[in-house]
Amino acid sequence: MPNVRKPRKGSLQYWPRKRAKKPYARIRSWPTISETKLLCFPGYKAGMTHIIITDNRAHSLTKGEDIKIPVTVIECPTIKVLGVNFYKKTPYGLTLSASILSQNLDKELSRKIILPEKLKKKIEDIKDFDDVRAIVYTQPKKTGIGKKKPEVFEIAVGGEKDKKLEYLKNLIGKEVSVRDIFSEGQQVDVHAVTKGKGTQGPVKRFGISLKSHKSEKGRRAPGSLGPWNAQQHIMWRVAHAGKTGYNVRTEKNKWIIKIGDKGEEINPKGGFIRYGLVKNDYVLLKGSVPGCAKRLIKMSYPMRPNKKMIQEVPTIQYISLESKQGK
């Protein structure tokens, strides 16, 4: 038999391995909550640091002790509501039926979209709809990342249909902060685009093992591209070299450790590498987050919250402000 080496378990978990169309993720499924508020808030990934907290998990072996955990810092400048999308249910799912846009917007938005000169309809004129969602845009000009062009995308709203419309009617053209959407101690799902790694071989791309040192041809190549008989073509499961990374990924049930507005509390000496200093509201999430520095991260209400995860805010004893620049 030829030396056939299959990819490691889980390497076909995401298929097709499709590269993202935009540098920020698109959320296709939204949770259902009773509160009438936006279900998502964006932020820019600044970097990582570590903190020391008092462990408040009930069944932890280190309960009541000080433990060190890694956290990701996400800067969250306020967003603005551009308009409202109205949807109608059809046999093929929700279909966009109408859009209402605000006219009092920032000049930076002209870099992204061209607004109509005047609206033909008012928000009160639309009666026949099944769902409404908010159109929002970010304000990267408030950060120090050197970006002016905002990102424009859609966010769903929780609550009943009529309450959603009343909520968005009062929100068009206004700013929304991260404190209006999330609170400390709760869980969020993180949607992001991973780092792009360029063209890589099958060992790094799919995790196949190295061949024996006595094997012919390449050591980091697959042992066989197909069987001796049966199908007369190469199967799609065979590991090949190709572009790696830059995929849309979702990490579930991230724990919000802290929401703050004073950058000096978390800015390390010399600033975050490839980012700089945090100047706006920020969120500390436990653990790592996909993507590189300056990339837009979307935090949404969890689809399947972990009911066993504690919702109380831990006491932070120390936040590392040491330089991340290296020696």
| 207-256 pLDDT tens trace | 999 999 988 888 999 988 877 777 788 888 889 999 999 999 999 999 99
Whole-number pLDDT of residue 8: 53
Please tell me the distance from the alpha carbon of residue 69 to that of residue 257, in angstroms, as a whole number: 10
- Please give the model's pTM, rounded to 2 decimal places: 0.91
Of the candidate ranges 18-27, 30-39, 93-102, the one whose mean pLDDT is the lowest? 93-102
Higher-confidence position of 79 and 123: 79
The CATH number that domain 78-176 falls under is 3.30.1430.10
Whether 24 shows a pLDDT value over 90: the answer reads: yes
- Domain chopping of the chain, boundaries: 13-76+177-210+240-327, 78-176
Taking domain 13-76+177-210+240-327, whether its CATH number is 2.40.30.10 is answered by: yes
Whether 5 shows a pLDDT value over 70: the answer reads: no
Residue burial 245-255, b: 16+ Cβ < 10 Å; e: rest = bbbbebeebbb
- CB neighbour class for 267 (10 Å; exposed up to 12, middle 13-18, buried from 19): buried
Please tell me whether residue 109 adopts helix, strand or coil conformation: helix
Whole-number pLDDT of residue 230: 75
Length reported for the chain: 327
Please tell me the distance from the alpha carbon of residue 296 to that of residue 40, in angstroms, as a whole number: 13
Instruction: Calculate ∠ Cα 203-209-212, nearest 5°.
Output: 120
Q: What is the tens place of the pLDDT at every residue in 281-295?
A: 999 999 999 999 999
Whole-number pLDDT of residue 231: 77
Mean pLDDT of 92-109: 86
